[in-house]
Amino acid sequence: MKKRGKGIAATFYGTGYGNGFPDVSICEAEVDEQGRVLVYTGATEVGQGAKTVLAQIAAEAMGVGLESIVLISEDTCCTPDAGTAAASRQTYNTGNGVRLACMRLKEMIKGIEERYISLKGMPVKKLNLKDIYEAANAEGIALKARDSFTARTYAMNEENGLGDPYWPYTFSCYGAEVEVDTETGRVEVLKAYCVQDVGKAINPLLIEGQIEGGFAMGMGWALYEDLNLSCGIIKNNNFSKYIIPTSMDMPDISSIIVEEVESTGPYGAKGIGEPVMLAAMPAILNAVYDAAGIRITKLPASPEYIVKKIQESVQNFKKN
């Protein structure tokens, strides 16, 4: 028999290293002879869209088009430390570092522009970055700025439990509709609703992709993925045994982006790298409970495990 159920789950997630650990991102920005803005950051792109978002932040801070920004990253020869691509921190932390460095560079440019116009007796007009570079170069001035951002976190007070261990927090509320085959134990996720707090959406399309990828990971966590660790040895060490969801397993996903500007974020943005997967698993398992009346206490909820839990539930019902 196939039964359907619905479940929801809400989570909150603290961005960054947390608990007072120094969480610093450094950035440098300069204008080159072609009039481009070169942005140097050690932020690593691992598929989360950091290069796109950081370039957008730089363009906004400089007041130029995205085509004028050249992001230089992942090169220890020339890029300053931006911390790890972890803890959903790059958009927030390094985004702030990029914003501050570019704002400092923009102030330098403004000074050169005003002086150049004054010296030339020119009518007030906006110069392009190539003109400004040439004017600064003639005076021996390098249009280069450096700045950093440190996240505001404080270690927890052991006596009273007070403190700001993380900042900011990102919130999620996800819903799932599933169908459970009570004879085989197979669970099919039919529909997902993902309501995600993002602060300010710098790139909505990237956010939607992140939500869908995060839900896929959460679904794999809930239903499929099992390392089968035995005596320190991973038994399921390849994808013929370690099962992950494919595109054919994915449900229809409705992504709802909630924008509540984070005052300390770069133009109000928060990081959402990891938060997008957290609520998926409990939402799915709550839907399984709604459908089959069984609480899952061990992951993944494989068909064999679900059948076992259903049988135990039936036996307990008969006893009572």
Q: Does the pLDDT value for residue 116 go beyond 80?
A: no
Q: Which two tokens stand for residue 291?
A: 């459908």
Residue 246 per-residue DSSP state: -
Query: What's the chain's average pLDDT?
Result: 93
pLDDT at position 174 over 60: yes
Q: Where are the alpha helices (DSSP H) in 224-292?
A: 275-278, 280-292
Task: State residue 18's pLDDT score.
Answer: 84
Structural domain total, the chain = 2
Q: Tell me, yes or no, whether 7 and 70 share the same domain.
A: no
State the catalytic residue, choosing from 212, 274, 304, 312. 274
Return the bridge partners of 230, or none: 233
Upper half-sphere CA count for residue 175 (Cβ side, 13 Å): 9
CB 60 within 8 A of CB 68: no
Domain end marker among 150, 185, 218: 150
Please identify which residue in the block is written with the tokens 């450094």.
Answer: 26
Domain extent at residue 169:
2-14+165-319
Does residue 266 have a cis bond before it (omega within 30 degrees)? no
Cα–Cα distance for residue pair 96/128, rounded to 1 Å: 25
Continuous segment of H or E residues that includes residue 116: helix 95-120
In residues, how long is the chain? 320
120 belongs to a structural domain: yes
Nearest to residue 42, comparing CAs of 93, 88, 108? 93
Beta-strand runs (E) in 45-184? 69-73, 144-150, 169-181
Give the mean model confidence (pLDDT) for residues 254-281: 96
Q: Do 174 and 224 belong together in one domain?
A: yes
- List, in order, residues 6 or more apart from 257 with CB less than 8 Å away: 196, 198, 201, 204, 207, 208
The amino acid occupying position 84 is T
Q: Could you tell me the CATH number of the domain that includes residue 55?
A: 3.30.365.10
Counting DSSP H helices and E strands in the chain, the numbers are: 7, 10
- Structural domain contains residue 288: yes
Active site residue 274: yes
Sign of CA dihedral 51, 192, 277, 93: positive
Q: How confident is the model at residue 7 (pLDDT cuts 50, 70, 90)?
A: very high
- Which pLDDT band, with edges at 50, 70 and 90, does 161 fall under? confident
Residue 246 inside a domain? The answer is yes
Same domain for 127 and 258?
no
- CA angle, 65 then 213 then 216, to 5°: 170
pLDDT at 294: 96
Q: What is the pLDDT of residues 48-82, one digit of tens each?
A: 999 999 999 999 999 999 999 999 999 999 999 99
Confidence at 149, pLDDT banded by 50, 70, 90: very high
Strands 24-31 and 144-150, by their bridges, are antiparallel
Instruction: Give 120-140 pLDDT, tens digit per residue.
Output: 655 556 678 999 999 899 989
Same domain, 94 and 202: no
CA distances from 39 to 55, 77, 78, 128 (A): 8, 14, 11, 18
Contact 195, 10 (CB under 8 A): no
Residue position matching structure tokens 């609703």: 193
Cβ(172)–Cβ(275) below 8 Å: yes
| 196/290 same-domain check | yes
Q: Which of the pair, 112 or 269, is modelled with greater confidence?
A: 269
**What's the rounded Cα separation, in Å, for the pair 38 and 139?**
20
Averaged pLDDT for residues 202-216: 97
| Residue 144 belongs to some domain of the structure | yes
307 with 210, same domain: the answer is yes
Give the C-alpha separation, 300 to 114, whole Å: 64
**Do 259 and 142 sit in the same domain of this protein?**
no
Domain end call among 150, 178, 206: 150
**91-105, 108-122, 129-143, 276-290, range with the lowest pLDDT:** 108-122
Based on the fold, state whether residues 102 and 47 are members of the same structural domain. yes
If asked whether residues 38 and 10 sit together in one domain, one would say no
